[in-house]
Amino acid sequence: MREHVVTAFLVADSDGMSALSVDLGRKLSALLSEKGYEVERIDLTRADAAPCRGCLLCLTKHPGRCVTQDAVGALALRIHHEREPYICLTVSPVLFGHLASTIKNAMDRGVHSHHLQVVVGYGEDVDEEEESTFIDLIARHRGAADIVHPGMDREFLAYVTRSVQDNDAICDSLGVRL
Partner 1 sequence: MTADSSKIRVCLVNGSLRGRHASSLRFLQDVARRISDASCHKTTVMVLGNPRRHYDAETLQVIAAADALVLVFPLYAYGLPGALMRLLEEFDSYVRAGNPHNMNARVYVVVNCAFPRPEATTGEAVRVVRNVCRRLSLNWRFAICIGTGPVVARTRRIPLLDRTLKRAYAAVVADIGNALADPPADFFIHPVIPEPIIRRIKEHYEKKGEMMLQRDIQNEAPTR
- Residue choice 47, 74, 164, 169 for contact with partner 1 (CB under 8 A): 47
The reply to whether 88 sits near partner 1 by the rule CB under 8 A is no
Cα 51 from Cα 2, distance rounded (Å): 37
Cα 112 from Cα 118, distance rounded (Å): 9
Cα 38 from Cα 140, distance rounded (Å): 28
The residue range among 3-11, 17-25, 135-143, 165-173 that interacts with partner 1, by the rule CB under 8 A, is 135-143
Smallest gap from Cβ 20 to partner 1, in A, equals 18
Residue 151 has φ and ψ, to the nearest 5°, of 90, -5
Q: Residues 14-43 vs partner 1: string with x where CB under 8 A?
A: ------------------------------
Query: Where is 12: in which H helix or E strand?
Result: strand 7-13
- Residue choice 10, 12, 66, 99 for contact with partner 1 (CB under 8 A): 99
DSSP E strand stretches across 22-166: 38-44, 86-95, 98-99, 116-122, 155-161
> Rule CB under 8 A: which residues touch partner 1?
46-55, 59-64, 70, 80-81, 83, 95-102, 104-105, 107-108, 129-130, 133, 136-137, 140-141, 147-148
